[in-house]
């Protein structure tokens, strides 16, 4: 009897401790990053496009710009842990070389330099998953801690060739397959608007350092929302291009199957909408795509459509985000005079099944194989073993990654008819949306059902990424646009979707929304609840 009583008492104490821990996690106040100093505002609050213009005109020097951004990174990174590798001295040397070259050039000679190198002397950052020669390229995996990139990723090289200067690499989620950027190599990244909240993933570090004004332009990749979710949670712009418009080569992980090329997109994350187009012109090698980016878009002649939910097994959109979306609809309907139609697409309720099926038939190595570095047959048992190790703090893997590998090992027990039905639903939904949008339509869609959650909470809402992920499965271009802050000081936003290869439409709408709603809002230092 005494043994039973003792056992019950221990269980009760453990339960009380657990509940108290969860309460503290969910109620602990956070911090915002430090306010931008007045002396730095003339540089840190300018778009990359304007910085380059001022460099060309001789109003600013590259060393001055790079030094200001380095100082800002040093000021904020201790709060948010997003920059994981840096090359500050090398960047300053490169900036001095830029200034030295420009010093004695005539106006026409300067113009020729900047026509050839449209980002000449401007700083940028990139997601750690992209190779930069000499940098570690771990993808957040402990077993790759000593893996050093031997060459630059294709997109990194293109930005370097345009004259930009790399400052640093930023944190990712483990194997770039979760929507909170934490791993056992670099730790957890924190949101600059409230450090008790997530930055998103997998390009979470990149979006956060841009939001914190430690960078102005950067590179991310997106297979389920990995550009757009972090951009949304951190109140900046992010664009998932149409498939194959920007090279995915040179990042880890990357799958080179045809199906993977349709799902995965490399794209820009920027603080200002105007820089999205500039970056895409640099990042892409497709001449027709770059020509379309230069097309004039008459906003008031576009057709606008709106959807405010994403079907089964995902949370409903919060009232504040619904209100923000309604304001966007009112802006286009009343101020611009465009037509805004609310859509009902029954097939959207199957979104999570469509994305999961597209991922499962993509080909190439499985997530478990890439995570553990073993054959697919062993990943199920290894996942179970790693769960046990994780429970006692001995695993080199995060719980979301282990869980995903375990669930993935069960996919072969699902009936083939479910797979075929999901693929059919996905294709039918893609055709339906593209026929509705045509060459002059855009769809307004929630970026996520809530603003940035507290750390670890995504574990209990695993399917909410589908608000972004569905458009990877449908192969459509999407721009995430910030819309100010909610009542808790966290960023609001919306996605703008177009038919494939009509990226220029979503980018033009993003610029219009930035003018109306203000775009990026700087976080500032103070304790918040």
Give the whole-angstrom CA distance, residue 445 versus residue 78.
35
Q: Quick one: which of 267, 164, 269, 265 has its CA closest to 207?
A: 269
Whole-angstrom Cα Rg for the chain: 23
**Is there a contact between 451 and 321 (Cβ–Cβ < 8 Å)?**
yes
Q: What is the token pair recorded at 128?
A: 């750690």
From residue 486, how far is each of 35, 408, 451, 467, 489 by CA, in Å? 19, 36, 8, 19, 5
The greatest distance separating any two alpha carbons of the chain, rounded to the nearest whole angstrom, comes to 94
The tokens for 119 are 């980002």
d(CA 175, CA 371): 7
Name the DSSP letter for residue 141.
Answer: -
Nearest to 447 by CA among 312, 289, 310: 310
Catalytic residue among 62, 173, 202, 306: 202
Residue 521 phi, psi dihedral angles, 5° rounding: -115, 120
Q: Looking at 47, 226, 383, 422, which residue is catalytic?
A: 226
Residue 302 φ/ψ, nearest 5 degrees:
-80, 155
Residue among 32, 117, 127, 158 flagged as catalytic: 127
| DSSP of 414-460 | S-HHHHHHHHHHHHHHHHHHHHHHTTTEEEEEES-SSSPPBTTGGGG
Which residues on neighbouring strands pair with residue 218, listed in sequence order?
A: 125, 269
Angle, CA of 202, 395 and 13, to the nearest 5°: 105
For 385, the token pair is 């073993």
- Report whether 507 contacts 277 (CB < 8 A): yes
**Owner of token pair 């139609």:** 341
Based on the residue annotation, tell me whether 127 is a catalytic residue of this protein: yes
Which candidate, 171, 164, 93, places its Cα nearest to that of 136? 171
Instruction: Give the Cα-Cα-Cα angle 56, 58, 59 (nearest 5 degrees).
Output: 110
Contact 236, 270 (CB under 8 A): yes
Give the ranges where 297-450 is alpha helix by DSSP (H).
319-330, 351-360, 367-372, 379-391, 399-408, 416-437
| 226 flagged as catalytic | yes
Q: Which residues form the catalytic set?
A: 127, 202, 226
């Amino acid at each position: 009897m005494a043994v039973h009583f003792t056992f019950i008492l221990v269980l009760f104490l453990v339960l009380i401790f657990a509940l108290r821990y969860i309460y503290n996690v969910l109620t602990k106040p956070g911090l915002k990053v430090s306010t931008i100093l007045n002396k730095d505002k003339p540089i840190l609050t300018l778009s990359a496009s304007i910085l380059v213009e001022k460099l060309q005109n001789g109003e600013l020097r590259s060393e001055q710009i790079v030094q200001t951004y380095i100082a800002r990174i040093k000021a904020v990174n201790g709060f948010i842990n997003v920059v994981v590798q840096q090359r500050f001295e090398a960047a300053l040397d490169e900036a001095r070389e830029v200034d030295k070259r420009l010093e004695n050039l005539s106006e026409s000679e300067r113009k020729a330099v900047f026509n050839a190198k449209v980002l000449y002397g401007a700083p940028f950052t990139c997601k750690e998953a992209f190779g930069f020669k000499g940098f570690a390229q771990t993808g957040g995996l402990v077993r790759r801690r000593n893996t050093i990139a031997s060459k630059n990723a294709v997109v990194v090289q293109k930005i370097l060739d345009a004259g930009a200067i790399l400052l640093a690499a930023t944190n990712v989620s483990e194997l770039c397959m979760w929507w909170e950027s934490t791993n056992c190599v670099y730790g957890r990244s924190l949101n600059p608007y409230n450090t008790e909240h997530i930055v998103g993933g997998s390009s979470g570090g990149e979006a956060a350092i841009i939001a914190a004004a430690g960078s102005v332009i950067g590179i991310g990749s997106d297979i389920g929302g990995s550009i757009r979710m972090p951009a949304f949670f951190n109140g900046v712009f992010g664009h998932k291009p149409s498939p194959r418009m920007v090279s995915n080569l040179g990042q880890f992980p990357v799958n080179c199957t045809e199906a993977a090329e349709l799902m995965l997109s490399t794209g820009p994350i920027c603080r200002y909408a105007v820089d999205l187009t500039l970056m895409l012109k640099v990042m892409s090698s497709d001449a027709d795509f770059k020509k379309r980016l230069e097309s004039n878009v008459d906003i008031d002649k576009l057709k606008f459509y709106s959807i405010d939910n994403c079907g089964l097994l995902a949370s409903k959109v919060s009232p504040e985000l619904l209100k923000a979306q309604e304001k966007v609809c009112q802006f286009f309907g009343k101020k611009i005079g465009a037509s805004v139609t609310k859509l009902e697409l029954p097939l959207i309720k199957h979104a999570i099944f469509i994305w999961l099926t597209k991922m499962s038939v993509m080909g190439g190595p499985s997530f478990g194989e890439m995570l553990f570095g073993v054959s697919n047959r062993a990943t199920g048992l290894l996942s179970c073993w790693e769960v046990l190790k994780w429970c006692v703090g001995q695993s080199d893997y995060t719980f979301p990654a282990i869980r995903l590998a375990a669930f993935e090992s069960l996919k072969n027990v699902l009936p083939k008819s479910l797979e075929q039905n999901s693929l059919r639903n996905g294709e039918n939904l893609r055709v339906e949306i593209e026929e509705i949008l045509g060459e002059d339509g855009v769809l307004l869609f929630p970026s996520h059902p809530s603003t940035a959650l507290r750390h670890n909470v995504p574990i209990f809402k695993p399917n909410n990424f589908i608000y972004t992920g569905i458009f990877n499965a449908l192969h459509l271009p999407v721009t995430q646009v910030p819309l100010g802050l909610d009542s808790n000081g966290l960023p609001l936003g919306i996605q703008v979707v177009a038919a494939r290869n009509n990226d220029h439409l979503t980018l033009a709408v993003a610029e219009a929304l930035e003018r109306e709603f203000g775009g990026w809002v700087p976080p500032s230092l103070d304790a918040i609840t």
